[in-house]
Amino acid sequence: MARGALTTKNRLNRGDNAWAYVFIAVALIGYAMFTAYPFISAFIISFQEYRPLGSEFIGFDNYADIFKSELFHKALWNTVIYTVLTVPVALILSFAVAIMIMPLKKWMQTTFKAVYYLPAVASGVALSVVWLWIYDPLQGGILNQLISVFGIENQNWLGSSKTSMFSLVFMSWLSSHGTSIIIYVAALLGIDESYYEAADIDGASFWQKMWHIVIPCLKPTTLFLLVTGVIGSFQVFQNAYLMTGGGPDHSTTMVGLLIFDTAFKYFEFGKAAAQSLVLAAIIGIIAFIQFKFLGKDVEY
């Protein structure tokens, strides 16, 4: 009997292996060529001084350069500052907005979600072009007009090393919360109603429900957004590249941009590969720490 069932099953599944390999063939070839090979290649290049015809192995020189380089330290520091200023604010903002959306009617929820998501639909280049004009340092610049209402004098937003980093951060505050708002709303809708009912019976206030139900239930979501947010922020380069070019005086040079410049401005591929692997290691360590300390009672 058992044997019969087994052979039937075998007969039914005959050819499955072959089909499965056909189904994943393109994905695997694409992956091998455009992800796995470049990844391995990055390690090799990082030990070389790259030349199109015959690179030369130089051992750990590229890595030694990085750790000695003041610019790399500065870029790393800038990246940390940018991350600390953007990621937590984005999380708190999107959490607050998601909570405030909850008691509204369905059509209002949808409209607000769409509105907040809209900047994520526009291309980064288009947004950077617009923000460049918003930050126009002349008196007529939009932001300068706005702050003059409050009696604050003209700022050279992107052109001064005092305000350049803040300008990039401020832009991120206003254009990168769409995704996390939507994710938070979905997570809030997923909380079991019975928790609230039980709390109501006990006469819990809004803030008590918030503290004892919402925040614990949303911990996995927050962790997910935090980890992906930090990882994303450590790779940031497009806005800095398009708006300040890393300046003035390297005040907005972040690691992502430094790697880009090393590779495609100075064509030092070996050094760029080494920098990118150091960045990858740092990101890996940070993600690990976040999971270790915050993910204790989060189950996946």
Partner 1 sequence: MALFNNHLGNPTFKYVRNTVIVILLLLFALATLFPIYFMVMSSFGDPIEAGAVSYSIWPGKFSLESYKFFFNFSEYSYRWLLNSLVVASAVMVSNVVFATTAGYAFAKIQFRGRSVLFAVLLAAMMIPYQVTQVPLYILIVNVFEIQNTYEALILPSIVTVYNIFLAKQFMGSIPKEILESAKVEGASQFQILIKIIMPLSKTVMAVMAILTFMDTWNTFFWPFLVTNTMDMQTIQVGLKNFRFANTTYFAPMMAGATISAVPMFILFFSLQRYFLEGVTVGAVKG
Q: Identify residues 66-85 at the interface with partner 1 (CB under 8 A).
A: none
Instruction: Assign 3-class secondary structure to the chain.
Output: CHHHHHHHHHHHHCCHHHHHHHHHHHHHHHHHHHHHHHHHHHHHHHCEECCCCCCEECCCHHHHHHHHCHHHHHHHHHHHHHHHHHHHHHHHHHHHHHHHHCCCCHHHHHHHHHHHHHHHHCCHHHHHHHHHHHCCCCCCCHHHHHHHHCCCCCCCCCCCCCCHHHHHHHHHHHHCCHHHHHHHHHHHHCCCHHHHHHHHHCCCCHHHHHHHHHHHHCHHHHHHHHHHHHHHHHCCCHHHHHHCCCCCCCCCCCHHHHHHHHHHCCCCHHHHHHHHHHHHHHHHHHHHHHHHHHCCCCCC
Q: Which of 104, 215, 285, 289 binds partner 1 (CB under 8 A)?
A: 104
Binding of partner 1 at residue 285 (CB under 8 A)?
no
| Contacting residue, 26, 68, 107, 149, with partner 1 by CB under 8 A | 26
Q: Does 20 bind partner 1 (CB under 8 A)?
A: yes
User: Where in 139-168 is the site for partner 1 (CB under 8 A)?
Assistant: 140-142, 145
Subset of 170-189 contacting partner 1 (CB under 8 A): 174-175, 177, 179, 182-183, 186-188
**Closest separation in Å from C-beta 271 to partner 1:** 10
Residue 65: CB minimum distance to partner 1, A: 16
Of 6, 23, 58, 84, the one binding partner 1 by CB under 8 A: 23
Report which residue type is found at 93: L
Nearer to partner 1, 64 or 115 (CB): 115
Shortest Å distance, C-beta 182 to partner 1: 5
Q: Which of 221, 222, 251, 252 binds partner 1 (CB under 8 A)?
A: 221
Q: Considering only residues 244-273, where is the footprint of partner 1 by CB under 8 A?
A: 256, 259-260, 263-264, 269, 272-273
Q: Among 77-85, 153-161, 191-199, 246-254, which window interacts with partner 1 (CB under 8 A)?
A: 191-199
Minimum CB separation of residue 50 from partner 1 in Å reads: 8
Binding of partner 1 by 112 (CB under 8 A): yes
